[in-house]
Amino acid sequence: MKLQGKKAIVTGANRSIGKAIALLFAKEGAELIISYRSDKKGAEEVLDCIQKAGGNARAFYSDFSTYEGIEQFYRECIHALGRVDILVNNAGGYNTLGFFELTPHDFEQLLQVTLMTPFFLSQLVAKGMVEKQTKGNIINISSISGTRPIMNRVAHASGKAALNMLTQTMALELAQHGIRVNAIAPGYTPYEKNSEFDPAIKDIPLGRAGLPNDQASTALFLATEESSWMTGQILTVDGGHSIALSTVQDA
């Protein structure tokens, strides 16, 4: 098992990409803490799947809207795990309001969970890694909307673009401690199969929507020694969607 003996945190792992990452990491031997806020049932279902498969995981409630909430979650994780080898910053928000409709509250709320939480949780985790001389991994879940403009995604795209730069600057600062920091930029990956947005598939060269496991397998790669000479990278996993959209079509 590729993560045997490793201790990991996966935030927002009650569904979709976070759930797939948690299940795969547990299958590969990691001891896990997953976070949830509103969907306790979803988190319990993930734990049930992991435990039935013989894995080791716990779920902690988290309120990432304040620094105090982030710090409390980290303290609970350290009390339970003892140390952290891998942090996956997956918890995030989504907002499709247009430029003129976006309110200060909407914008601040999305940036808090998309940017501020990964920063401060990573800061706490990295300090612990340095203290324990852990050669750890931090993986941020970004989005292709952080690398190219998309209509009605001004808050989401701004937050993810900032997260990409945070990934790279953290990678530079933490490399001296043997801590690697990378990001995954998923393309169109519906929460559920047969999503109402399936027409978007026509723009994807590989001909299908993404699956949570597509992102999870990439996270596993980044969490293991197979990617030991990679840091500061934003890996786009989108079936070719972003390159298709950037191609200039003939008139």
Looking at the domain assignment, is residue 198 inside a domain?
A: no
Domain residue limits at 20: 7-191+211-237
CB 205 within 8 A of CB 243: yes
Q: Does residue 196 sit within a domain?
A: no
User: In the chain, how many domains are there?
Assistant: 1
Does residue 111 lie within any of the structural domains? yes
DSSP secondary structure string, 56-114? EEEEEE--TTSHHHHHHHHHHHHHHHSS-SEEEE---------TTT--HHHHHHHHIII
Does 88 fall in a domain? yes
Amino acid identity of residue 96, one-letter, is T
> Is 180 a member of any domain?
yes
Q: How far apart are CA 76 and CA 13, in angstroms?
A: 17
CATH number of domain containing 165: 3.40.50.720
Tens-digit pLDDT string for the chain (251 aa): 999 999 999 999 999 999 999 999 999 999 999 999 989 999 999 999 999 999 999 999 999 999 999 999 999 999 999 999 999 999 987 777 888 999 999 999 999 999 999 999 999 999 999 999 999 999 999 999 998 887 888 888 999 999 999 999 999 999 999 999 999 999 999 875 545 556 568 889 999 999 999 999 999 999 999 999 999 999 999 999 988 876 644 43
Cα 28 from Cα 36, distance rounded (Å): 22
* Residue length of the chain: 251
248, part of any domain: no
Q: Taking the complete model, does pTM exceed 0.75, yes or no?
A: yes
Residue 238, class by beta-carbon neighbours within 10 Å (0-12 exposed, 13-18 middle, 19+ buried)? buried
Do 175 and 126 contact (CB within 8 A), yes or no? no
Does residue 204 sit within a domain?
no
Comparing C-alpha atoms, which of 94, 115, 88 is closest to residue 183? 88
The answer to the question of residue 243 being in a domain is no
Task: Tell me the per-residue pLDDT of 43-87, one tens digit each, with 9 for 90 and over.
Answer: 999 999 999 999 999 999 999 999 999 999 999 999 999 999 999
